[in-house]
Structure 1
Amino acid sequence: MSTAVIHCKDGDHTLDLMDREVVAERLLSTSRKHSFDPDVDVAWDTPVEPDRFFMPPECVSLFETPLWDGLTRAQRIELSRRELASTMSYGIYAELMLMQALVLHAWRREVDSKDVAYALTEIADECRHSMMFARLIRTLGLRATRPPQWMYQAGKVIGGIYQPVQKFSMVLVVEETTDTLQRAIMADSDLQPLVRQVCKIHVIEESRHIKYAREELKRQVANLSPARRRAYALMISPGAYEISRALIHPSCYSGIGLDPKEAARAAAASPHRRETVAWMFRRTMGFFEEVGLLDGPARKVWQHYGILQP
């Protein structure tokens, strides 16, 4: 264990930095005890119950909007089904990007180290998660959707670039926000049992991935000058905002007979939706505060996007 001091405008932040090998050994030990095979550990024959939501209604993008008020209960349930599938579709593409980042990370380390052994273990986890999400989407009678075209094409380029501060920051943006949603799903006994099973597996295994990304990001930030750290913070925030928008594919709205553009505008203008997004980002924002990634002008940008509440 060592420490690093981050000099921020609101004062000094002291970070505890654990040795990579120590962190990796602990995570490897946990992986041996708490890993799942979705093909075996998910009861895929669990019937989908027609009158149950697929996520908490208050987490659906149109909740508490005039459009929501005009929907029947069946339409609301259908929208929750489609938004869950859309979020998990985006999750698959995010997992693919994460796997690329982990391969690039392992390439730069000692390949016989425990750190690389854990990176490879996490890649195996993410492979299973991607297949599990895809199978759930198909089981729900839907097909996976792609991110927006510009984001999909940009991913082909960005995926091959190793920028660890950005990579591990965006890992936390995706993993912790979706983890927050999935924790709410798995805890709600009124929701679809099959969806809750999938979320439970993902939450248990994802906790290790979040720990790994947090510890690596702390090490990376500790080596940055204040100017570079603030520059990275500014670069991260627009990407996080676009991710929050990309979670809901336009087909979610057209699938229940709504105009996608009108529905997207209603969701964007909804105070409740902004609060929901801020809730999903709350843990990540707390950690970014700790490591100095909200320092300087970045804080105002996060607040402008509604991800960080003033």
Structure 2
Amino acid sequence: MGATAALPVTDRFMEVLERLSERSVEDYYNPYQTFQWPDSLDEKQYWMTPELLTVYGTKHFEALDEETLQRLSRWESVNFYSLNVHGIRELLIEVIGRIHMPGFEVPSDFFHHFIGEENEHMWFFSEFCRRYGSKIYGSAGMRADAVWEPEVENFLVFTRILFFEELVDHYNSRMAKDASLCHTIREVNRIHHQDESRHIAFGRELVSLLFQRMTEAVSAERIREVEAYVKRYVVYSINSLYNPHVYKDAGIADPLGLRNALIADEARRVHERKAIRKPLSFFLKTGIFSDDTLPVL
């Protein structure tokens, strides 16, 4: 991790920073007082919108009975919040390491809001997992396959953060509005969506500036390598939703076989593309991606 030249800051970026910082103050809430955690959640009810389940749209969804689907939704829900816990922890480490680094002077004040809010998100997601699943599922991070220049490393850090937030927000916004889910689940998703809308707006502006700075500092070949890495990260992130431990906990036979079948099932591509539609569009619009093809991992 190294310092780089100052960001090519624009008036628009300054306006966005000021507006989002004000909203962070105005919308502040104390999560330790906001949530009323019931002793238990109804296990004969969906804990995740059925259309968001990893089996949806496949023959496996049709083959499972209602009780099994509800049980699956419980563990898919716990896995989703577990991924949030791990993702937030990693992004906090990266942002804290850059908060007062030369080159990040302008957004450093907003980073303070960001860090505080993300720490609170990590708390309430982990609280949900521990209370209602008695576990936080593990997660293996995706390793970098190269030693990157500082400009590239900084770009990749915030690009990964942005994609993670956009993917999660697709689920949050959908479940926050799903009246069939219990109040606790809707509230966890609603409040996270409220904060993430600010983080995504900030992330898009910052990633655009970091991309501009990176393209001025490294070769065209390096830019192509970066695109390939980000595409692999997109697929890796999607695949992390297909957790064999979830299928095992739901009582489904051959959990690893089911995971492999779902990842290979072309019927799932439509739903995956729907989940990443917004960040994919952003990557194409900014030139980060030259096309929308994604690799098979």
TM-score, normalized by length of structure 1? 0.82
CA 264–31 in structure 1, closer or farther in 2 if over 3 Å, else same: same
Partner of 1:211: 201
2:233 partner letter: G
Residue 221 (1) aligns with residue 211 (2): yes
8 Å contact kept, 2:284–2:292? no
> Which of 77, 81, 87 matches 2:80?
87
Pick which of 219-228 and 274-283 moved more: 219-228
Within the alignment, does 1:100 sit opposite 2:90 as a pair? no
- Whether 2:282 is the aligned partner of 1:287: answer yes
User: Which of 171, 175, 180 is equivalent to 2:170?
Assistant: 180
Tell me if 1:274 matches 2:269: yes
Whether 1:118 and 2:113 are equivalent positions in the alignment is: no
How much has 1:43 moved relative to structure 2? 2.1
Deviation at 1:16, TM superposition (A): 10
Instruction: Report the CA distance between 1:19 and its aligned residue.
Output: 5.5
1:60 aligns with 2:60: no
Q: Distance in 2 between matches of 1:99 and 1:75?
A: 36
1:41 to 24, 34, 40: 34
Q: Would you say the 8 A contact 2:75–2:250 is kept in 1? A: no
Structure 2 Cα separation of the partners of residues 248 and 269 of structure 1 = 11
Q: 1:184 to 1:87 in 2, by over 3 A?
A: same
Richer in strand (by share): 1
Change (3 A) 1:19 1:100: farther
CA distance in 1, matches of 2:11, 2:244: 43
| 1:71 is aligned to 2:61 | no
CA contact (8 A) 1:182 1:200 kept: yes
Residue matched to 2:3: none
Choose the corresponding residue for 2:234, options 233, 237, 240: 240
Change (3 A) 1:199 1:262: same
Structure 2 letter corresponding to 1:238: R
TM-superposed deviation, 1:142:
3.2
2:83–2:139 contact (8 Å) kept in structure 1: yes
Q: Distance in 2 between matches of 1:180 and 1:109?
A: 33
Following the alignment from structure 1 to structure 2, what is the Cα–Cα distance between the partners of residues 272 and 128? 36
1:260 counterpart residue number: 255
The answer to whether the Cα contact below 8 Å between 1:221 and 1:229 also exists between their aligned partners in 2 is no
Q: Distance in 2 between matches of 1:19 and 1:65?
A: 44
Matched, 1:190 2:180: yes
Q: What SS does the corresponding residue of 1:105 show, helix, strand or coil?
A: coil
Q: CA deviation at 1:78?
A: 1.1
2:57/2:267 contact within 8 Å kept: yes
1:7 matched residue in structure 2: none
5+ residue gaps, structure 1, are 1-14
Identity across matched positions, percent = 21
SS of 1:247's equivalent in the other structure is: coil
Q: Show CA shifts across 1:25-70 (max 9, x none).
A: 2211000111222221122127523332111112111123333333
Maintained 8 Å contact 2:92/2:118: yes
2:224 aligned residue: 230
* Cα contact 1:46–1:193 (8 A) shared by 2: no
1:287 Cα deviation (Å)?
Answer: 0.6
Is the 2:40–2:132 contact (alpha carbons within 8 Å) kept by the matching residues of 1?
Answer: no
The equivalent of 1:3 in structure 2 is none
In 1, distance between residues paired with 2:10 and 2:235? 29
Structure 2's unaligned 5+ residue stretches are 1-7
Number of equivalences: 281
Please provide the CA RMSD for this pair. Answer: 2.7
TM-score, with structure 2 as normaliser: 0.85
Q: Is the counterpart of residue 23 in structure 1 residue 16 in structure 2?
A: yes
Q: Does 1:32 align with 2:25?
A: yes
Residue of structure 2 aligned with 1:249, choices 231, 237, 243: 243
